[in-house]
Each structure stands twice: as structure tokens, then as C-alpha cells.
Structure 1
């Protein structure tokens, strides 16, 4: 009886770990898709991975919604040349994922060139099978 109970506990632990690893990978995949979509101006991907109630806090203190953020890219106010993730750590809490990371961003913001490292935290929520970004907060690091 003890052997069966131990086997069930190990099997459950293995399944939970495998699911967590799969979810962490899925979140990081969506994060990469989002960064790529920001650079390539792929609005279909941005519409899919940004939640309708997104709050996007930029490192300069400005705040956007999903609609205003996508519009700023369409209007050319915000233009990304490259976004390179340098560090990323995902923590899962049920259907919510918190990502802490550092990325290098080359962009133009209202005509001003930017080449900076950002420390960021973002929050994804799984809606059905899709992870969507609901919050972004970043700050500039010394280069």
C-alpha cells in the first residue's frame, strides 16, 4: 500500500513539474512572438497576444492601453528596430505567469533614438489556450 501511495505521489509531482515546464516554455514563446511582432509591426500577432485590458507602463513613465499602444506603432510614434531578451524568469500561479527579465531595446520614440537595457516585469494570463499580456512595467538600466 505504501509503495502504491509513493508511486502516485511521484507520478503527480512529475506531471505537475512537466506541466509547469510546458507552461513556462509557452509563456516565453509568446513573449518572443510579441517582441518579434513589435519589431516587424505584425499587428495580427499583437492583437492576439495583448489582452484587451492591457496596461503598458513604459520606462519613461508613459502608459498605454492595448489600443493606444498598437496605434502608436501604426502611427510611427513608437518604432522598434530590435528587442533582445537577455534574462527571463517565469513564475506560474495557476493561469497567471509573471515574467521578470532584462532586454536590450533599440527603438525610436517620438523621433528620438533609444538604445537601452530595460529591467521589466510583465504579467500574462492564460485565456483558453492563449497566453495574453495584461501588464508590462519597465525601467531603464545603466548601459
Structure 2
């Protein structure tokens, strides 16, 4: 399988883990030093990000479109649209997100893990 196909499969698995609330499966895909930048500018590390997935939100749908993937050795940059519907558990309120997302993936021991994710509102 090519690097591009492996990365597409890894991102698809990440989206499915979010929709299935599979926190343990998601944790295995994330680097220990994850930096996740949310649309509001807040930055979470791995533990805080996973706590949000577990305790604050449900991901009703997550889709990636227009992915551009560049592989540079054991590092890859993935840029594309993120379209998701999310429910806030505290208020039981659904909201839609459309963002442009940049991710950095790193291959370690033959496996791609998500190291950095930055979300921005589209122009």
C-alpha cells in the first residue's frame, strides 16, 4: 500500500473512531505530544483532546473532502476540508462545522500517527 493510501486509511479510521466514540482506538492513532488547535484557537494536548471526545462531545458525522497529502520521508502534511456535525453533551445542542484542516502525521515504527492538527475557518 502506498504512503498516500495508508494516510487516507488512517484519516478515515480517525473519523470513524470519532463517530463511534472509540476513545481508546482514537488514542492509539494520536502522538503522545499531540497539539490540536480548535476553531476557537484553544490548543489541546492528547489528554485534553481525548477528554473532550469522551466527556463533552459526540461526533454525529465527520467527513474529509479535497484532501491534499504531501509525504516528506516519515512525515506527511494533510490539508483539506473538514465537515462535521457535533453534539455538545452539556446542552444537547448540535452544531455544524466546516473548516480547513491541516494535519501533520509522523511515521513511527511503521505506523502513521497524528502529531498536529490545526483547524481554521474557510475564507
> TM-score surpassing 0.5?
yes
Which protein has the bigger strand share?
A: 2
Kindly provide the CA deviation profile for residues 78-127 of structure 1, in whole angstroms up to 9, marking residues without a partner as x: 22110111210100110000000002110124634221211010000001
Question: Which residues of structure 2 form unaligned runs of 5+?
Answer: none
Q: Is the 8 A contact 2:103 2:117 kept in 1?
A: yes
Shift >2 Å, 4+ stretches: 108-113
**Residue 125 of structure 1 pairs with residue 110 of structure 2:** no
Conserved 8 A contact 1:116-1:141 = no
The structure, 1 or 2, with the larger RCO (C-alpha pairs under 8 Å, 6+ apart) is 2
Compare CA radii of gyration and give the structure with the larger one.
1
Task: With the length of structure 2 as denominator, give the TM-score of the two structures.
Answer: 0.91
Q: Hey, what's the Cα distance between the residues in 1 that align with 2:37 and 2:87?
A: 17
Root mean square deviation of aligned Cα: 1.6
Greater share of helix? 1
Structure 2 Cα separation of the partners of residues 43 and 79 of structure 1: 11
**Are the aligned partners of 1:106 and 1:114 in contact in 2 as well (CA < 8 Å)?**
yes
Q: Could you tell me the TM-score, scaled by structure 1's length? A: 0.79
Instruction: Please say if 1:37 is aligned against 2:17.
Output: yes
